C-alpha cells in the first residue's frame, strides 16, 4: 500500500513508542533493586528477586562472551533476511528508476582525481612557496575523465613511454594560489606540474595550513551539541531558553527540509502507483561480469550515493576537511605539498561515502553483503565513485556484513573455477568486529579443507561457541560487522568469491534495529532478553529517506571520522613504541598493529623524494605467503593503481636469487623491473603488508636494507637484469589494466 503524507503521523507514533520502550528499558537496566516486607512471620516462596541474564535473546546461557545455548532460535516473525532479495534493505526502495548517476555528481564532480595532477589548481590552503617541475610524459596515461567522456574506449588507450625528468625552481606565486609557470617552447606548451611545499618560516610567520577553530566531540554525549553548533545553533541546555537571532542557516535548513519532505511521496510511489521495491528489482537486475556486481551491490551504491549527498553528510564534510588539515599540521610540521593538498577534497569525499556505506550496515536484521573500500570504477558504463580509506590494499576485495549478537546467520560462498588452484584467491579471511570502533574479536582464515569439492562453503554465525566446528564464527554481545577480505596475488588469474548471507534466528526486525540500536547499544542490550524483546516491539519504518540516512552517516563521521583518520595517519609518521617521529624515507620492521588485520604484520613509513630519486627497499618475506608494497598520499588512500604500478605484491614482483625482493619506489619511472610508482607524488606514505604467516616460524619477514639513491646511482646498485624496456612497461601496464577490469567493470 502506498504511503501518503497523511500517513506519516504513524511514523511519529513509532518513534515515540520506541522512546518510551527505551526509557522503560533504561529504568529496568539501571534502577537499583527494591524490596518490601510485611509485618509478621516470613513466608518462603519460590522465585528470585530479579531477572537473570541469560546471555542470549530468547535462550539460555551465560551473559559473558562465548555463552552457550540458543541465541533466539525461536521462529519469530521476520527472523530471516537474505541477500537474494532486491536490494541492500529489501523494501526500503531508496533507489529511484532513472537515477543512474548518483555517483557522478555532487561530491564527485570530476572523477579524474586519480590521474589528473594539480596542474592549474587553486587552493586556499596552500602557502606561497612553490617549486615547478618540468613536464613529465607519464602524465599522458589514461585518466578517469577520459573514461567518463568515452566509456567504450576508456580502457583501451595505450600508456605512453615514461621519462624521468629533473626539477627547476620558479618565483613564488601569489598567496593562496597554485599556479602553472610558463615554459618556453613552441605551442602547444607541455603540461606543467606544480608542487607547493609548506616550509618552516621565521618566528611570527606560520607556514602550516591553519584550519578554522572547529571542535567536534567524539563521545556520544557530545554529538547533539556538536551538530547544533555546526549548524549555527548554540546549545541552550545550560543557559536556558533565550531569544536568539534568526540565523540564515536555520532558514536555509528549513527550506531544504521542506523540499526534501515534499519529494518523499514521489520516491515511494511510481507513476503507476506501484511500490518502489518492484522498481528497484527491475533496475538492479543481475548482469554478467564481476562476482562483485550483484543486485545488492548496485542498490547499495545507489543508496550510499544519495546518502553522501544529503545535507547532514555535506555539512560534516566541511568539518571533516578541517579535521584532516589539523591532523596533517600536527603530524607533518614541515607542511604538506601542493599535490597532496589537491587530493584532500577527494579523500574527504571518499571517507564520507564510506560512512554512507557503513550506515547501510546498521540494520543487522536485514543483512546484505556490501563491497566498499573500493577504487572508482564502472559497472556497465555507470561511474561509481571511490570509497578508499585508511590504507586500502589494491589487492584486496573488502566486503562487510552487518550483524548483531542477538541473531544467528548463515554465510554461503562460492569459489569460481575451484579446480584451478591458480584461480583461487591468495588469502581469504573473515573478521568479527565489535562496537562502534570496530575492535577485532575473531579472525577466521578460510583454508581448502573448509571448502566443498565444488568450491562452495557455508559458515554459521552466532554467539554460541564453535565446539570444534571450523566453519563457525562466534559473535559477542557487541558484535556489529563481519569484514570479509579476499586478497588476490595474481589479478588476472585469481577471482573473488561470491557471497550471500541470511539471518536464520533472532528477534523480529524493529525500528530500534533499523536505526542502528544494536550497533550502538548492543553490548548493553543483547545480554538481557527482556530488553531485547522490549526494543523489538516497535516495527521498522517502511522507508528511510536520504535525510535520515544522512543523519546517521554524519553521526558515524562525528564518532569515528577525525580520531580514526588521525590514528592511521600517525602510523606513517610516529613510532608507536617510542612516540618519536619516524625519520623520512624509512620504513619500520614488520610488526603487528591493531589498526590492521589482526593476523598481519605491517611496515609503515613516509617518503619525500625528488623526481630523480628512489627509495630502494630489500625485503625478505620469510615464510609469509603474501606481501604487498603500495604507496599512498598523506591522507592514507591509494592513487591510480590501474594505469600505473602503484603497488607490487610477491606474485607481480621479480624475485632475487636469494629469495628477497628489491623494490624501487620513485615518482618517475627508472625502468626498474620492480618499480612502484608514487602516483606523481613526491611526498607520501607507505604501508607494507605481510599475510599468511606462521607465528611460530623462526623465519619471519624483515626489511633487509633501505636507502635513497638517484636514478643514475640505481644503475650502479642493481644488476642489468633488474631493468626492463619501455615496451616491457607498456605490457606490464596492459596486464594490470586487464586484471583491474576483471574485478571492477
- Residues 482 and 460: their CA atoms lie apart, in Å, by 12
Q: What is the pLDDT of residues 46-75, one digit of tens each?
A: 333 333 333 333 333 433 333 333 334 333
Q: What is the DSSP string of 463-529?
A: SS--TT-TTEEE--TTEEEEEEEEE-SSTTT--PPEEEEEEEESSPP-HHHHTTHHHHHHHHHTT-H
Q: What is the DSSP string of 368-397?
A: --EEES--SEEETTEEE-----SS--TTEE
Order of strands across the sheet that contains 661-666 = 675-677, 661-666, 613-620, 702-710
- Residues 363 and 366: their CA atoms lie apart, in Å, by 6
At 576 the pLDDT is 86
Neighbours of 337 (CB within 10 A): 26
Say which residues have a Cβ less than 8 Å from residue 424's Cβ, sequence separation at least 6. Answer: 415, 418, 448, 494
At 408 the pLDDT is 96
Mean per-residue pLDDT of the chain: 73
b/e code 4-33 from CB counts within 10 Å (16+ = b): eeeeeeeeeebeeebeebbeebeeeeeeee
Give the mean model confidence (pLDDT) for residues 289-302. 91
Task: For residue 60, give the C-alpha cell.
Answer: 539460555
Most distant CA pair in the chain: distance in Å?
A: 111
- Residue 182: pLDDT band (50, 70, 90) is very low
Q: What is the pLDDT of residues 88-129, one digit of tens each?
A: 333 344 444 334 444 544 444 444 445 433 333 334 444 333
Task: Kindly report the pTM of this predicted structure.
Answer: 0.68
Q: How big is the chain by its Cα radius of gyration, in Å? A: 27
Helix axes 562-573, 311-331, angle to 10 degrees: 30
Counting residues of the chain whose pLDDT is more than 70, the rounded percentage is 61
Given a cut of 80, is residue 83 above it in pLDDT? no
The answer to whether 618 touches 661, Cβ cutoff 8 Å, is yes
Q: Which residue bears the cell 609548506?
A: 198
Order of strands across the sheet that contains 370-372 = 370-372, 396-402, 479-487, 427-434, 439-445
At 80 the pLDDT is 42
The β-bridge partners of 677 are 666
The answer to whether 507 touches 406, Cβ cutoff 8 Å, is yes
- Residues 742 and 745: their CA atoms lie apart, in Å, by 6
Please choose, from the candidates 657, 698, 693, 655, the residue with its C-alpha nearest in 3D space to the C-alpha of residue 673.
Answer: 655
Q: Give the single-character DSSP code of 63.
A: S
Q: What is the pLDDT of residues 125-164, one digit of tens each?
A: 443 333 333 334 344 444 444 544 443 343 334 333 344 4
- Residues 480 and 192: their CA atoms lie apart, in Å, by 48
Q: What is the pLDDT of residues 186-238, one digit of tens each?
A: 444 444 433 333 333 443 343 343 444 444 444 444 544 444 444 444 444 33
At 600 the pLDDT is 85
Helix axes 546-556, 311-331, angle to 10 degrees: 20
The answer to whether 634 touches 332, Cβ cutoff 8 Å, is yes
- Residues 119 and 193: their CA atoms lie apart, in Å, by 5
Q: What is the pLDDT of residues 350-405, one digit of tens each?
A: 999 999 999 999 899 999 999 999 999 999 889 999 999 999 999 999 999 999 99
Neighbours of 268 (CB within 10 A): 18
Please choose, from the candidates 362, 366, 356, the residue with its C-alpha nearest in 3D space to the C-alpha of residue 519.
Answer: 362
Is the alpha carbon torsion for 414, 416, 421, 422 positive or negative? negative
Task: For residue 13, give the C-alpha cell.
Answer: 507514533
- Residues 664 and 661: their CA atoms lie apart, in Å, by 10
Query: CA distances (Å), 287 to each of 379, 443, 494, 574, in order?
Result: 10, 32, 20, 46
- How long is the chain? 745
Higher pLDDT, 569 or 99: 569
Cα first-last separation, the chain: 37
What domains can you pick out in the chain, each with its CATH number? 572-744 (2.60.120.1600)
- Residue 24: pLDDT band (50, 70, 90) is low
At 595 the pLDDT is 56
Please choose, from the candidates 401, 373, 377, the residue with its C-alpha nearest in 3D space to the C-alpha of residue 103.
Answer: 377
The β-bridge partners of 621 are none
Q: What is the pLDDT of residues 466-499, one digit of tens each?
A: 998 999 999 999 999 999 999 999 999 999 999 9
At 503 the pLDDT is 96
Query: CA distances (Å), 20 to each of 33, 518, 537, 538, 714, in order?
Result: 21, 17, 11, 10, 71
Q: What is the pLDDT of residues 520-540, one digit of tens each?
A: 888 889 989 999 999 999 999
The answer to whether 69 touches 61, Cβ cutoff 8 Å, is yes
Please choose, from the candidates 612, 613, 601, the residue with its C-alpha nearest in 3D space to the C-alpha of residue 692.
Answer: 601
Q: What is the pLDDT of residues 643-656, one digit of tens each?
A: 999 999 999 999 99
Kind and range of the H or E element at 608?
A: strand 601-608
- Residues 507 and 549: their CA atoms lie apart, in Å, by 23
At 722 the pLDDT is 95
Task: For residue 473, give the C-alpha cell.
Answer: 564464527
The β-bridge partners of 457 are 413
Query: CA distances (Å), 497 to each of 7, 201, 265, in order?
Result: 43, 53, 39
Give the mean model confidence (pLDDT) for residues 630-636. 97
The answer to whether 560 touches 554, Cβ cutoff 8 Å, is no
Please choose, from the candidates 175, 152, 185, 111, the residue with its C-alpha nearest in 3D space to the C-alpha of residue 349.
Answer: 111
- Residues 167 and 183: their CA atoms lie apart, in Å, by 13
Given a cut of 70, is residue 578 above it in pLDDT? yes
Question: For residue 174, how many C-alpha atoms fall within 13 Å in the half-sphere facing its CB?
Answer: 4
Question: For residue 259, how many C-alpha atoms fall within 13 Å in the half-sphere facing its CB?
Answer: 8
Amino acid at each position: 500500500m502506498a504511503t501518503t503524507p497523511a500517513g506519516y503521523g504513524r511514523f511519529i507514533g513509532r518513534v515515540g513508542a520506541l522512546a518510551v520502550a527505551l526509557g522503560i528499558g533504561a529504568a529496568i537496566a539501571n534502577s537499583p533493586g527494591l524490596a518490601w516486607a510485611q509485618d509478621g512471620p516470613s513466608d518462603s516462596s519460590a522465585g528470585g528477586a530479579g531477572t537473570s541474564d541469560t546471555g542470549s535473546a530468547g535462550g539460555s546461557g551465560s551473559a559473558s562472551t562465548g555463552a552457550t545455548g540458543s541465541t533466539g532460535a525461536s521462529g519469530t516473525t521476520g527472523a530471516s533476511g537474505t541477500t537474494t532479495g532486491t536490494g541492500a534493505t529489501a523494501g526500503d526502495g531508496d533507489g529511484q528508476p532513472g537515477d543512474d548517476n548518483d555517483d557522478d555528481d555532487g561530491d564527485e564532480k570530476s572523477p579524474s582525481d586519480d590521474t589528473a595532477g594539480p596542474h592549474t589548481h587553486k587552493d586556499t590552503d596552500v602557502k606561497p612557496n612553490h617549486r615547478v617541475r618540468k613536464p613529465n610524459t607519464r602524465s599522458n596515461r589514461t585518466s578517469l575523465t577520459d573514461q567518463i567522456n568515452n566509456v567504450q574506449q576508456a580502457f583501451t588507450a595505450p600508456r605512453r613511454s615514461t621519462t624521468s625528468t629533473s626539477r627547476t625552481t620558479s618565483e613564488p606565486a601569489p598567496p593562496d594560489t597554485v599556479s602553472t609557470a610558463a615554459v618556453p617552447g613552441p605551442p602547444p606548451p607541455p603540461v606543467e606540474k606544480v608542487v607547493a611545499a609548506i616550509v618552516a618560516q621565521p618566528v611570527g610567520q606560520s607556514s602550516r595550513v591553519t584550519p578554522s577553530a572547529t571542535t567536534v566531540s567524539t563521545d556520544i554525549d557530545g554529538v547533539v551539541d556538536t551538530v547544533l553548533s555546526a549548524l549555527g545553533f548554540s546549545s541552550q541546555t545550560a543557559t536556558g531558553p533565550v531569544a536568539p537571532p534568526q540565523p540564515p542557516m536555520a532558514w536555509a535548513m528549513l527550506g531544504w527540509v521542506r523540499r526534501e519532505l515534499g519529494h518523499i511521496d514521489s520516491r515511494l510511489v511510481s507513476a503507476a502507483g506501484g511500490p518502489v521495491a518492484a522498481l528497484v528489482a527491475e533496475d538492479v537486475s543481475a548482469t554478467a561480469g564481476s562476482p562483485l556486481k550483484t543486485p545488492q551491490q548496485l542498490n547499495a551504491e545507489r543508496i550510499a550515493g544519495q546518502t553522501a549527498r544529503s545535507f547532514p553528510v555535506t555539512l560534516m564534510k566541511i568539518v571533516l576537511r578541517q579535521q584532516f588539515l589539523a591532523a596533517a599540521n600536527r603530524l607533518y610540521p614541515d607542511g604538506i605539498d601542493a599535490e597532496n593538498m589537491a587530493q584532500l577534497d577527494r579523500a574527504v569525499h571518499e571517507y564520507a561515502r564510506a560512512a554512507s556505506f557503513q550506515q547501510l550496515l546498521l540494520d543487522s536484521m536485514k543483512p546484505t553483503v556490501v563491497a566498499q573500500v573500493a577504487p572508482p570504477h564502472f559497472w556497465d558504463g555507470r561511474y561509481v565513485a571511490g570509497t578508499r580509506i585508511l590504507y586500502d590494499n589494491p589487492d584486496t576485495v573488502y566486503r562487510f556484513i552487518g550483524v548483531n549478537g542477538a541473531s544467528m546467520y548463515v554465510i554461503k560462498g562460492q569459489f569460481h573455477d575451484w579446480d584451478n588452484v591458480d584461480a583461487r584467491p591468495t588469502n581469504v579471511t573473515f573478521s568479527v568486529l565489535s562496537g562502534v570502533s570496530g575492535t577485532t574479536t575473531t579472525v577466521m582464515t578460510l583454508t581448502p579443507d573448509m571448502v566443498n569439492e565444488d568450491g562452495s562453503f557455508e559458515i554459521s554465525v552466532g554467539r554460541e561457541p564453535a565446539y570444534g566446528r571450523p566453519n563457525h564464527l562466534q559473535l559477542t554481545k557487541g558484535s556489529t560487522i563481519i569484514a570479509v577480505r579476499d586478497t588476490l596475488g595474481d589479478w588476472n588469474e585469481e577471482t573473488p568469491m561470491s557471497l550471500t548471507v541470511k539471518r536464520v534466528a533472532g528477534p523480529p526486525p524493529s525500528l530500534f534495529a533499523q536505526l542502528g540500536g544494536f550497533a550502538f547499544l548492543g553490548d548493553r542490550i543483547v545480554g538481557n532478553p527482556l530488553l531485547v524483546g522490549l526494543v523489538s516491539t516497535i516495527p521498522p519504518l517502511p522507508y528511510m529517506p536520504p535525510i535520515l540516512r544522512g543523519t546517521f552517516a554524519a553521526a558515524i563521521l562525528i564518532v569515528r571520522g577525525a580520531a580514526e583518520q588521525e590514528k592511521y595517519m600517525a602510523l606513517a609518521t610516529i613510532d608507536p613504541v617510542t612516540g618519536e617521529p619516524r625519520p623520512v624515507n624509512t620504513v619500520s620492521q614488520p610488526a603487528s598493529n591493531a589498526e590492521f588485520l589482526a593476523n598481519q604484520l605491517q611496515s609503515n613509513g613516509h617518503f619525500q623524494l625528488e623526481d630523480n630519486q628512489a627509495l630502494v627497499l630489500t625485503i625478505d618475506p620469510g615464510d609469509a605467503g603474501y606481501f604487498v608494497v603500495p604507496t599512498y598520499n598523506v591522507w592514507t588512500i591509494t592513487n591510480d593503481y590501474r594505469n600505473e604500478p602503484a603497488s607490487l605484491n610477491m606474485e607481480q614482483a621479480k624475485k632475487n636469487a636469494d629469495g628477497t625482493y628489491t623494490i624501487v619506489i620513485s615518482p618517475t619511472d627508472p625502468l626498474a623491473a620492480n618499480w612502484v610508482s608514487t602516483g606523481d607524488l613526491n611526498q607520501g606514505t607507505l604501508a607494507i603488508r605481510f599475510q599468511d604467516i606462521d607465528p611460530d616460524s623462526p623465519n619471519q619477514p624483515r626489511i633487509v636494507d633501505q636507502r635513497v639513491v638517484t636514478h643514475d646511482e640505481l644503475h650502479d646498485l642493481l644488476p642489468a637484469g633488474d631493468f626492463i624496456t619501455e615496451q616491457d612497461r607498456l605490457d606490464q601496464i596492459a596486464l594490470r589494466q586487464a586484471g583491474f577490469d576483471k574485478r571492477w567493470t
